[in-house]
Amino acid sequence: MVRHRNHRHFGNSNHRPLAADPQQQYKQGIEALYNLDFNKAEPAFTELVEKVGLLRRDMQQKKELEKYEARFQRIEQKLSALADRVSVDDPELAKALRTAWQLPARSLAFRNVAHQKEPSK
């Protein structure tokens, strides 16, 4: 057997290529996202939404958003649907996600104030 550089041999395992069935992979990804424990993931996810919101705002100020407007609208649709789903169990988290998207600088400022109030460890 010839091994290529940077290639791992998986023997007789049932290894399948990552994109063997893109539809199934997408379905599993969405299912994992909906089953995610947002209490654990919330800080990182909120920060991610803030960063994308800040990027959108910066692009808008530089007059570069128009080229990517449809993509950002799609991101907003998906984020809104996710916030709706999360609001069933955690309305405060859903509100935080919406604020992080719509008003990312405000969200970041509130998070910074809350972080400064935390006792040092």
pLDDT value at position 43?
A: 81
Whole-prediction pTM value? 0.58
Q: Give 24 or 4, the one with higher predicted confidence.
A: 24
| Pairwise CA distance, residues 27 & 109, whole Å | 36
Entry field: residues in the chain: 121
- The CA R_g of the chain, rounded to the nearest whole Å, is 20
CA end-to-end span of the chain: 55
Q: Give 10 or 97, the one with higher predicted confidence.
A: 97
Q: What is the pLDDT of residues 31-81, one digit of tens each?
A: 777 777 766 777 888 888 899 999 999 999 999 989 999 999 999 999 999
